Structure 1
Amino acid sequence: MKLLVLGGTHHVGRAVVETALERGDEVTTLNRGLSRDPAPGVRALIADRTDSESVRQALGDAEWDAVIDTWAWAPREVREAARLLAHRTGHYGYVSSRGVHRWPWPSGADESAPLVDGDPGSTDDADYAAAKRGGELAVLESFAGRALLARAGMILGPYEDVGRVPWWLRRLEKGGRVLAPSPADAPLQYLDARDLATWMLSCAERGLSGAFTVTGPPGATTLGELLTTALEVTGFDTELVWAEPDLLRRYGLPLGMEFGLRLPDGGVPSGMHDADVSAALTEGLTTRPLRATLADTWAWLQAEGDPTPRTDAPSPDTWLDAAAEQRLLDQLSH
């Protein structure tokens, strides 16, 4: 395909570019050109998404078979891009989020779960859920019947800049005794960014449209399996000390929130890790083993160092206060 990626330098966008190149697609990217040099073989267009005239000039009169958009902020920029591309691109793949569903998420929810309200012309990105829903509506205005809305769950894998697995790998690297949030058998539902990229590119090639919940199958892994597998693939000599959520909360340690296992008030959210993904699986979504995701993430961190955290993601220091952790570890050792 002739593919345009709006973004293409971070996490999902980078995974899309690399996967497309491996497939033999002709790849063009559009971004500000500030983060990374373009991958070999990529035609790089430079523009600021918040400046519609800049985007218009960068796109010129080129045509593409498909576009994949990873924009996570104000919906108006999605609307502007979709309008510019409506008559010269066949398919629009938008990386959305399960966050577009109204909270609290029902257990076992599928694509039919209630949605939040969104404004496709909004310039506000303070409410992530409303911004993503507005982005969906913006795409549908120009690409009705030609748009894929990939409502992703928790996305892991190389290039993650949200602060989940990279943060844990660095914490485990220090060795010694490390607190972990009980229960170890808490289910986790996630998707490797590269598997999301592979699926979205396949959908673009087939012209598949519609909204899909896109994450791994429910029940595939647990928090305990993730952390113990991380220790296995890295070889770290680290002891996991499991602590109950109430105890963590008393010590001011929000561990578990990074994986959506706890709410700020200490409650356990429903529907976070048991989504019905049968529709995406039917349409060819496949997932690689947990061990491969963790090993490749660690290899990337060793090769390139820690990524610059996203401005809309929690600080890496959010999940752990070292002094509070040591106090709790001391209590648990008695």
Structure 2
Amino acid sequence: MSNRREFMNTVVGAMLGSAAVVTAHEKINSTAPKSLRTLIIGGTGFAGSHQVHAAVARGHKVTVFSRGEKKMDLPAEVEILAGDRYKDLNLIADRDWDAIIDFAAFAPLGVRTLGQALKGRVKHYTLISTVMTYTRAAGNVDESSAVMEHTDSVDPYTVQKISGWRQYGSFNVLCEREAQTQFPQKTLVVRPGVITGPGDSVDHIAYWFARMERGGEIVAPGDPLAPVQFIDARDLAQWVVRMVERSETGVYNAVGPVMSMGMCELLGAVRSLFSTPMRLTWVPSQWLIEQKLRADEVPFFWVKDPQLAERDELWLSYKVSSAKAHAKSLTYRPLATTLSDNLKWYRTLPPERQAAPRSGWKTELEQNVLTAWHVYCMKGQ
């Protein structure tokens, strides 16, 4: 910055921006003008439970319909119905619903049977889909970008459980289309990417907590400036509730942060939470690919070139635009808040669970990668 005045303007602007974020979240947590009879399908999982809390905080009457396999801490006033969406729709079919928020539609049959069972009883339907609906492209992505088409020989309407990441994307596309058929002019489709925050049992970011707490030399995969995107489950939930209250329809991406963030910025922010001596060793993507590493063996946010990723390999774009959602008041809490809250939750887990994160490098594999990388560098190749 060229002078002190520019510096002060920048600092004050940042402070005002933070205040605006806080004010937005305070408004979000106020009571809605009207209480909605809200059915949340799959509301006992990580993101779904945050959705339940957000809806209750706004004063809505919430019923959760799930298989009951996960026990989450839900508000006492929430009605919980345990059942299978393919077999037990009778539990919800005899009621009228102002809103349904569906976290558990992974095959189009589930959306079709739901629509048929509740025909004429639903005022608004929200499908939580995924950015994995988009085709594997290296460029920027928005809601008009091409989506994956179902090309397998299997009839998708005979499938209840999907298999493989490619099917995950194409089946979500079919779910979106079926939703528009079953709930015409009443459907909101939300496409998030990586969802994190307290309770993130996949350990999208918590892997780095466990690894940096150990310290030492740490493999950081890929380009330090490669973009990363994710959204705090609480920000997603609060925004979805407001969209439902306004009966918004259409397709919206919901990823963050609002400004571009590089992998080095994320890891730097995580690193600031620890005092353990550590050193990040950045290993280029091309070399990692030459070692035949799959995306699910490497920490989240590492991305292969779309042409090099295997057909059924996990692949996410981190160049997704949420400008359309921003225009509808999607806001984000500060990164420091998301990380510190996530770390607080992670430290409540049993020690053996903390020591074995569910994503990221396995200890032996990381050490092998480090050794091979140093040998490669010493050879000067």
TM range (shorter): 0.7 to 0.9
Partners of 2:121 and 2:352 in 1: how far apart?
35
- Taking a change above 3 Å as real, the CA distance of residues 42 and 216 of structure 1, as seen in their structure-2 partners, is same
Q: Deviations over 1:209-249 (max 9, x none)?
A: 01112212564311111111112134444322222223334
- Say whether 1:74 aligns with 2:107: yes
1:132 partnered with 2:132: no
Moved more, 271-280 or 13-22: 271-280
Q: CA deviation at 1:329?
A: 6.6
SS in 2 for 1:48: coil
Structure 1 CA distance for aligned equivalents of residues 108 and 299 of structure 2: 27
Do residues 85 (structure 1) and 85 (structure 2) align?
Answer: no
In 2, distance between residues paired with 1:217 and 1:284? 14
Instruction: Provide structure 1 residue ranges, at least 5 long, that are not aligned to the other structure.
Output: 309-313
For 1:47, the equivalent position in structure 2 comes to 83
Question: Contact 1:10 / 1:161 at 8 angstroms: preserved in 2?
Answer: no
- Residue 217 of structure 2 corresponds to which residue in structure 1? 177
Does structure 1 retain, via aligned residues, the 8 Å contact 2:140–2:320? yes
Output the amino acid matched with 1:207.
S
Partner amino acid, structure 1, of 2:149: D
Question: TM-score, normalized by length of structure 1?
Answer: 0.85
Matched, 1:258 2:300: yes
Q: After superposition, where does 1:253-332 map in structure 2 within 5 Å?
A: 253=293, 258-263=300-305, 272-305=317-350, 316=359, 321-328=365-372, 331=375
The AA in structure 1 aligned to 2:368 is: A
Tell me what 2:42 maps to.
7
Superposed CA deviations along residues 119-170 of structure 1, whole A, max 9, x for unmatched, are: 7735162311111011112211221111100012222222223342122222
Contact 1:177-1:241 within 8 A present in 2 as well: yes
Change (3 A) 1:180 1:100: same
Q: 1:38 to 1:219 in 2, by over 3 A?
A: closer
Find the structure with the greater CA-based Rg.
Answer: 2
For residues 232 and 38 of structure 1, do their structure 2 counterparts lie closer, same or farther at Cα, with a shift above 3 Å needed? closer
1:59 aligns with 2:104: no
Give the conservation status (yes or no) of the 8 Å contact 1:156–1:165. yes
Residue pair 1:4, 1:66 contacting (<8 A) in 2 also:
yes
Distance in 1 of aligned mates of 2:367 and 2:256? 35
Q: Secondary structure at the match of 1:121?
A: helix
Match of residue 56 from structure 2:
21
Paired with 1:138 and 1:306, the residues of 2 have a C-alpha distance of 44
1:315 deviates by 6.2
Letter in 2 for 1:49: R
TM-score by length of 2: 0.75
Structure 2 CA distance, aligned partners of 1:307 and 1:199?
35
- The 1:11/1:137 distance shift into structure 2, 3 A limit, reads same
Q: Quick check: 178-187 or 155-164, which moved more?
A: 155-164
For 1:180, the aligned partner's letter is A
1:245 is the counterpart of 2:289: no
In the aligned structure 2, how far is the partner of 1:150 from the partner of 1:216?
A: 13
Secondary structure at the counterpart of residue 178 of structure 2: helix
Question: How far 1:298 moved relative to its partner?
Answer: 1.1
CA displacement 1:57-77 (0-9 Å, x = unmatched): x21522221111011532211
Check 1:104–1:330 CA distance in 2 against 1; reply closer, same or farther (3 A cut).
closer
Q: CA RMSD in A?
A: 3.1
Identical amino acids, percent of aligned pairs = 28
> SS where residue 369 of structure 2 aligns?
helix
Q: How many angstroms apart in 2 are the aligned matches of 1:186 and 1:235? A: 25
**Do 2:212 and 2:274's aligned partners in 1 also have CA atoms closer than 8 Å?**
no
Unaligned runs of 5+ in 2: 1-35
| Count, aligned residues | 324
Describe the superposition over 1:241-291 as per-residue Cα deviations: whole angstroms up to 9, x where unpaired. Answer: 222223334455557662152259767x99922222211110111112211
* CA distance in structure 1 between the partners assigned to 2:101 and 2:62 by the alignment: 11
Moved more, 86-95 or 240-249: 240-249
**Inter-partner Cα distance in structure 1 for 2:227 and 2:289:** 20
SS at match of 1:68: strand
Higher-strand-fraction structure: 1
SS in 1 for 2:272: helix
1:2 Cα offset (Å): 2.0
Separation in 2 of the partners of 1:326 and 1:105? 30
The answer to whether the 8 A contact 2:215-2:279 is kept is: yes
Which of these residues, 126, 132, 137, is aligned with residue 105 of structure 1? Answer: 137
Separation (CA, whole Å) in 2 of partners of 1:289 and 1:27: 28
Distance (whole Å) between structure 2 residues aligned to residue 113 and residue 78 of structure 1: 23
- Tell me which residue corresponds to 1:191: 231
